[in-house]
Amino acid sequence: MANEENTKVENMKLDDMQRVKVLSPSALVLKRFFRNKLAIIGMVIIICMFLFSFIGGMVIPYGQSQVFYTTEEMKKDYAGATYISDYMMYEAEGAEVPSDLYSKSILAITKNQKVVETRGGGNLALRPLTGDSFIIYGAEETKNPRALKSKEHDQAVASGDNYFEYDDVAYIADDASGKELLYIASEMAVICKLSLTPYTAGTTLSYDFYKNALLAMSGKEKTFEADGLNYTVEMDGEETAMVFAADGSDYAYISNMNINSVIGGVFLAPDFKEAAALAIQDGAESFEYTDADGVTDTYLLSENNGQYLISRFQETRVIDTYAQPSEEHWLGTDANGMDLLARLMYGGRISLLIGFVVVIIEVIIGMIVGGVAGYFGGWVDNILMRLVDVIYCIPSMPLYLILGSIMDHYRASATVRIYMLCVIMSIIGWVGIARIVRGQILSLREQEFMVAAEAMGISVGRRIFKHLIPNVVPQLIVFASMGLGEVILAEATLSYLGLGIKYPAASWGSIINAVNDSYVMTNYLFVWVPAGILILLTVLAFNFIGDGLRDAFDPKMKR
Amino acid sequence: MKKFVIKRLLISVVLLFFVSMIIYGIMRCMPASFVETKAMELSQKPGAKSYDEWLEQLNAAYGLDSGIIQGYVTWASKAVRGQFGDSWNYNQPVLQKFSSVIWYSFALALASFILEIIIAIPAGVAAARKQYSLTDYSITVIALIGISLPSFFFATILKWIFAIKLNWLDLYGIVGRMHQQLSPAGQILDMAKHMIMPVATLTIVNIGSLMRYTRTNMLEVLNSDYIRTARAKGLPERKVINHHAFRNILIPIITLLGGTLPSLFGGALITETLFQIPGIGYTSYQCIVLGDIPFVMFYMLFSAVLILAGNLLADILYAVVDPRVRVN
């Protein structure tokens, strides 16, 4: 094959036409273009950008507005504890209680009276137990000297009590008025500053249990019977006690502290309360507690005006903001916890799309207006060119800013903003192309081929768009490739100022917007540097290509 | 020539009329404009009138109760007499605010303009002298990088290096914290120091086009016959370049630079905003965002005048510098 060609060349004559390889004009342009190193670099960069944004966006497993979370050790309030300062009242089942039972009892306790009259006319009698616990009885005055003189009465008085039973009747003795009075007592309630927590969640403690537990706490007898079951009380401190069931298992915890979970509806185990109360009594700053699942945690205690706060370090799910680059997020995450690489890819799509859409619209409008103006000349030209002048006069950047803030006020969605940006930028940008096209056509239409075209009777539209415009295409292509860079730059600037593409849609410019926070600028280089480099590379590549194309179309600049 | 200038001036007036009309129309489109924000603010004060009442009163006070066309006519009839009204945002006459901020912008633009000329023209000439050499390629690449560099990105890099890492310059503003305590000379130096980064940004971003323009024109000149003649008669290369070639590229360069002279007053909207230099650009940016119609109208119109003046100046200079060109 190679031999054959060689012999062919040898057989040619010196002036053989085939010796000179004839290339078509466009092939020549291409050849010159591909010899330009910078232009090739530009092409490679642009192809890479397309692959990065379009293929990369498909390959990457993350979305552009997917928020990532991380777990972090955070000190969180767990429970609050206070010494109980108010009296709690537990009423007996089935007892008829007067409506002012609680207030009258409190009154009696503060006035240190043992018997008070209720509003309903009856009497209340208080039987003090240890500390601030009392049993409240409904009292009916009676005269029974035998009971007063009985052994049971003397025993009770001797032990400091005012309650005794004689002949199966419960009596309360009171000597507040100087003379000892006797009342027949009927149980109504217990009142105390203690809280009782059963061990198993859901167990409700009966009145009987309350009363007998309190009695056992104050009495010497540490066992009691309630609801037919036997319990044992073991004092932990002065005011705290543990109640065991008959089989020795923990049954309830009695404490003078109110310990509640910060989150409503959470049951705090009595062990926990016990551990917390002990720590508070000891004045410790932290304590350890192993919960039912066997997990040991350290709880921290802090005190504020008698209020104790129990907190602990907990694993918390938080948005992963400004994560450093890692295997998971190659370029880290931004302020919203979104993957920066994914946002760069999607931002690239938008930037490139806006660039191409705007330039295509610009070229179409500019070609039509410039072509018509240049071809017809006269008043058509005059009017169209004055329109071009008007638009050319309007300062573009301030106008984009104004329109951007108008869209802000209308709260345009991210997609609408993208479309509007395309439209606005093309409406402003087409005038440059119209001027180029018109200038070229003004000189071209005087040439012979146009006379020929007219002589052949070709219609005006065909003459403009088939014979004139193709001669302008080289300049158009150069202008368009440079214009692409400019449009991308303008879009990035607008987005940087926060008036272009907005969250949640991504754009290279809006990613760099994060540097308005100088903390981000200083410490999170990975947020803004890649985006800036991508903009620079893309615009540079379009300029390289445009430059290469200009040289290729117009080789006379070469020495 | 006189006729040409007068004709162009007349056309410019007509163009300005349309430009101002378009901009006024767009400005009035802002639905939640300055007035509505202000009315909302006022109505939330204790014991204030309702939002609607405030809105009505403010609209009347700011002349927004009339329709767009009527509002435009009112505005234009005053603007023709040089009355641009009071800036809503700054509560002072637009022209007064303008004259107090314009000099920052002018200083900024002038400094970077001079730097551009000093750097770009020799670089462009050097690139053209050795076309396709390493010098040429590096100058071309640098010029294109300058054109392609987003100003906000470059400004951020500068801030990061000089303000944060080296701590030589301040991040923002035109004056330092101790400005009031400084001597008059010290105050000027303080401001100059704050201008370093903005000037650098503006220069780098704008330098590329002048560099490339110089290179293209130099190449064209170097290809012309009289250069070949000069070389043929044995002139040293230095003399060919400096005398014969350089003088000829001055024609297009002076035309271009003359055309950009008016824009020295236009302010650099983005750069000033990035560095919060209180020039006309940054002031206008704030007014645009807030919807301050009188100031923005004035600024837009002023910019349009500058663009028109630049074009006109370029055309006149073209005819003046190059006697071969006859305006018609």
Residue-wise pLDDT tens digits, A367-382: 999 988 988 888 999 8
Task: Kindly state the helix (H) or strand (E) to which residue A549 belongs, with its residue range.
Answer: helix A525-553
Kindly report the average pLDDT of chain A as a whole number: 81
Of B29, B150, B303, the CB nearest to A493: B150
Instruction: State which residues form the domain around B232.
Output: 99-291
Chain A residues close to B285, C-beta within 8 Å = 401
Q: What residues does A127 pair with on adjacent strands?
A: A135
- What is each CA distance from B43 to A462, B53, B61, B64, B292, in whole angstroms? 64, 9, 16, 19, 20
Q: How many alpha carbons lie under 13 Å from residue A314 in its C-beta half-sphere?
A: 12
**For residues A12 and B83, which has the higher predicted lDDT (pLDDT)?**
B83
Instruction: For residue B270, give both structure tokens.
Output: 């983005």
What is the tally of structural domains in chain B? 1
Contact call for B148 and A540, based on CB within 8 A: yes
Residues in chain A: 559
- Domain assignment present for residue B20? The answer is no
pLDDT of residue A2: 47
Pick among A35, A393, A489 to test the B interface (most B CBs inside 10 A) = A393
Q: Are B156 and A397 in contact (CB < 8 Å)?
A: no
**What is the spatial distance between Cα A550 and Cα B3, in angstroms, rounded to a whole number?**
37
pLDDT band per the 50, 70, 90 thresholds, residue A450: confident
Position B2: which residue type?
Answer: K
Closest by CA to A515, choosing from A387, A334, A345, A383, is: A334
ipTM, two decimals: 0.88
- What's the pLDDT at A517? 81
Does any domain span residue B83?
no
Whether the pLDDT of residue B327 is over 60: the answer is: no
Q: Which of A260-269, A507-516, B94-103, B191-200 has the lowest mean pLDDT?
A: A260-269
In a domain, B25, yes or no: no
CA A505, distance to chain mean position in Å, is: 17
How many angstroms away from the CA of B158 is the closest CA of chain A?
Answer: 11
| Residue A281 C-alpha, separation from nearest chain B C-alpha, in angstroms | 51
- Domain-embedded: residue B30: no
Band the pLDDT of A364: cuts 50, 70, 90: very high
The CA distances from residue A397 to A400, A449, A473, B133, in Å, are 5, 42, 28, 37
What residues of A are in contact with residue B16 (Cβ under 8 Å)? Answer: 393
Angstrom distance (rounded) from CA B266 to CA B108: 11
* Contacting residues for A371 by C-beta, under 8 A, at least 6 apart: A437, A438, A441, A464, A465, A468, A469
For residues A234-261, average pLDDT: 76
CATH of the domain at B221: 1.10.3720.10
Task: Give pLDDT tens digits for B50-99.
Answer: 777 877 777 777 777 777 888 888 888 888 888 888 888 888 888 888 98
Q: Does A536 touch chain B (CB under 8 A)?
A: yes
| A195 vs B: CB within 8 A | no
A558 touches chain B (CB under 8 A): yes
pLDDT classification of A160: cutoffs 50, 70, 90:
confident
Average pLDDT over residues B265-271: 87
Residue A291 clears pLDDT 50, i.e. is over it: yes
Residue B173's identity, in one-letter code, is G
Q: Which helix (H) or strand (E) segment is A151 a member of?
A: helix A151-158
* pLDDT band of A487, cuts 50, 70, 90: very high
State pTM to two decimals. Answer: 0.75
Residue of A nearest to B302 (CA): A395
Mean pLDDT, rounded, of chain B = 86
pLDDT of residue B153: 92
Name chain B contacts of A548, Cβ cutoff 8 Å: none
Distance CA B158, CA A273 (A): 60
- Alpha-carbon dihedral of residues B178, B184, B185, B187, nearest 10 degrees? 30
Q: Do B153 and A485 touch (CB under 8 A)?
A: no
Rounded to whole angstroms, how far apart are CA atoms B147 and A489? 10
Count of helices and strands (H, E) across chain A: 19, 17
Nearest CA in chain B to A498: B289
User: From CA A435, how far away is CA B285, in angstroms rounded?
Assistant: 30
Q: What's the token pair of residue B72?
A: 């435009």
List C-alpha distances in Å: A110 to A106, A134, A147, A218, A532.
Answer: 6, 12, 29, 20, 76
* Integer Cα distance of B62 and B57 in angstroms: 9
C-beta separation of A347 from A506 below 8 A? yes
pLDDT at residue A220 in the model: 62
Q: Which residue, A346, A433, A452, is CA-closest to A392?
A: A433
Q: How confident is the model at residue B158 (pLDDT cuts 50, 70, 90)?
A: very high
Q: What span, in angstroms and rounded, lies between the C-alpha atoms of A111 and A106?
A: 8
Confidence of residue A19 (pLDDT cuts 50, 70, 90): low
Q: Is residue B302 part of a domain?
A: no
- pLDDT one-digit tens code per residue, B116-157: 999 999 999 999 888 888 998 899 899 999 989 999 999 999
A70 vs A259: CA distance, rounded Å = 32
Residues A216, B169: Cα–Cα separation, whole Å: 79
pLDDT for A369 equals 92
Residue B6 β-bridge partners: none
pLDDT tens by residue, A64-83: 777 887 777 777 777 888 77
A396 touches chain B (CB under 8 A): no
Res. B107: pLDDT tops 60: yes
**Which contacts (CB < 8 Å, 24+ apart) does range B282-286 have?**
B283/B97, B283/B101, B284/A398, B285/A401, B286/B89
SS3 A10: helix
Q: Which residue of B has its CA nearest to A531?
A: B153
What pLDDT digit, counting tens, does each position of A173-210 carry?
777 777 777 788 888 888 887 777 777 766 777 777 87
Q: pLDDT above 70 covers what percent of chain B? A: 98
- Please state the rounded mean pLDDT for residues A328-348: 83
| pLDDT above 70: residue A335 | yes
Number of Cβ within 10 Å of residue A86's Cβ equals 8
- Inter-chain CB proximity B30 and A403 less than 8 Å: no
Q: What is the mean pLDDT of residues B92-112?
A: 90
Q: What pLDDT does A42 receive?
A: 92
The answer to the question of residue B251 being in a domain is: yes
Our CA-based measurement puts residue B184 at a distance from the nearest CA of chain A, in whole angstroms, of 31
| Cα A422 to the center of its chain, rounded Å | 31
**What is the per-residue pLDDT for A1?**
44
Identify whether B93 is part of a domain: no
Give me the pLDDT at residue A7, please: 52
Give the separation between CA A339 and CA A331, rounded to whole angstroms.
7
Alpha-carbon A107 to chain mean position: 53
The dihedral built from the CA positions of residue A529, A531, A536 and A537, taken in this order, carries a sign that is positive
What's the DSSP call for residue A467? I
Contacts of B106 (CB under 8 A, 6+ apart): B264, B265
8 Å CB contact between A111 and A197: no
* Better-predicted residue by pLDDT, B128 or A150: B128
C-alpha distance across the termini of chain A, in Å: 39
Q: Considering the domain boundaries, does residue B107 fall inside one?
A: yes
CB contact (8 A) between residue A492 and residue B150 = yes
pLDDT of residue A388: 92
Per CB-CB distance under 8 Å, the chain A contacts of B276 are none
Tokens of A130: 């240890």
Token couple for A86: 């108010």
Does residue A132 or residue A429 have the better pLDDT?
Answer: A429
DSSP, residue by residue, B257-322: HHHHGGGGGS--HHHHHHHT--SHHHHHHHHHHHT-HHHHHHHHHHHHHHHHHHHHHHHHHHHHH-
